[in-house]
Amino acid sequence: DVESWMTWNYSIVLSRLKRFDEAKFVNQQSLTIKQDDTVNCHLMMIALNEIQTGDFAKANELFSQINPRAMNDWDCIFYGLLSESL
C-alpha cells in the first residue's frame, strides 16, 4: 500500500523537475490516503502552490490545518516561510 511518506518523496522530485501541477496532484491525493507525520508537509506544499497561483484565501485555509508542533525543525523553517508569505 502507498503511504504518505512515499508520496512526499515523490512530490519533492516532481517539484524539483518543475512539474508543479503533478506535484500538487500528488500532494492533494496524499491527503486522501493513510496519513502520517508528512501530512503537514503535503499541506504546506499545496498552500505554497496556491500562493504561486495567487489564491491566498485557499493558502490561508490550508495553512490553518497545519500543526507545526508535529513537525521537525527543518519542516518548521518552511512553515515559517509560508507564514510570512501570508
pLDDT digits (tens, 9 = 90+) for 44-67: 999 999 998 999 999 999 999 999
Q: What is the pLDDT of residue 34?
A: 87
- Report the pLDDT averaged over residues 29-58: 93
Residue 41 has pLDDT above 90, yes or no: yes
- Report the pLDDT averaged over residues 3-23: 93
CB atoms within 10 A of CB 86: 13
Torsion-angle region of 18 (φ positive above 0: left; ψ -120 to 50: alpha; else: beta): left
Q: What is the pLDDT of residue 69?
A: 93
